[in-house]
Amino acid sequence: MTTATAPKTAPAPSAELAQLAAAHGLTLSGARPTLPRYIAELWNRRHFVTAYATARMQATYSSAKLGQLWHLVTPLLNAAVYYFIFGIVMKASNGVPDYVPFLITGIFVWDFIGSSINAGTRAVHSNRGLVRALHFPRASLPISTVVQLFQQLLVTMGALVVLLLAFGQRPAWSWFLAVPTLLLMAVFAAGCAMVMARIGSKSPDVSQLMPFVLRTWMYSSGVMWSIDQMLKSDHLPHHWVLMLLKLNPAAVYIDLMRFALIDSFGAHSLPPHVWPLAIGWALLAGVGGFIWFWKAEEEYGRG
């Protein structure tokens, strides 16, 4: 006894399917657009980015009685704690003119850089529902976190100016150098945030390690102590160690801000070719980080 089997239907060739989809204007869902188109889509959503960042900034500390004042109080409390530990107990203020302005300027700058990178690590992973539900350039998420923190930084810069005046700093033309420093720093932080956003989207556990990495980076960036004074005290016996510390991007932007705002922080305290160095770090992180994030655009939200 024989049984008849139904003939198998051969699958349609992929070329024919592609032609059929093209004829009806169908495209692959979630496909990565070209880089120029991706930039255009991101620019078209710039209002969403700023509105989302502003809303998140206003929501922060919304349940606290002091509200948005915590944006000012938090870095000031950090400065007070670090001044007691490093300035008084460990005597890092020895040989550093205008140590309090030196310290608070470094803390305000580092707080923005470190917070941007730390928040960028969770930018995509913590918004998986939004990523899976809506189609939009995923770079909007890490960029919006940096925009939010940059808005906070502009608020705290007002407090920084008041503190600098209170500790005897006088307004000078060099203060205008703070503007390009802030912009370069923001580009650098955005690029780093996008790099960490891609890593964090695939490996969420990285966000648990970032506080330790950032703390190590902060201590090696001369936020609370002078790198030049450490060399003079023979704590850093090798000249190349000093150069590595001064050339790291966080130290570059901190030194530029101190040079702009503090009278006693002269050009001799800056690394050589500091402005090309600051621009180079911003371009390397900003452009490189953006392209690297874009290359994984169609992978976000999966898994």
Is residue 195 a part of any domain in this protein?
yes
Is residue 139 a part of any domain in this protein?
yes
What pLDDT was estimated at residue 129? 82
What pLDDT was estimated at residue 215? 92
Number of domains forming the structure of the chain: 1
DSSP, res 69: G
Is residue 287 a part of any domain in this protein?
yes
What pLDDT was estimated at residue 1? 47
Is residue 18 a part of any domain in this protein?
no
Which residues have a Cβ under 8 Å from the Cβ of 193 and sit 6 or more positions away? 116, 117, 119, 120, 121, 123, 142, 143, 145, 146, 289
Is residue 295 a part of any domain in this protein?
yes
Our CA angle for 248, 250, 252, nearest 5°, is 70
For 249, the domain range is 33-299
The alpha carbon of 261 is separated from its chain's Cα centroid by a whole number of angstroms, namely 22
Is residue 1 a part of any domain in this protein?
no
Is residue 20 a part of any domain in this protein?
no
* Dist. CA 158–CA 85, nearest whole Å: 25
What pLDDT was estimated at residue 13? 53
* Dist. CA 211–CA 215, nearest whole Å: 6
Is residue 164 a part of any domain in this protein?
yes
What pLDDT was estimated at residue 282? 97
DSSP, res 177: G
In our burial notation (b when 16+ CB lie closer than 10 A, e otherwise), range 67-83 reads eeeebbeebbebbeebb
Q: Which residues of the chain have pLDDT under 70?
A: 1-30, 61-68, 71, 230-239, 302-303
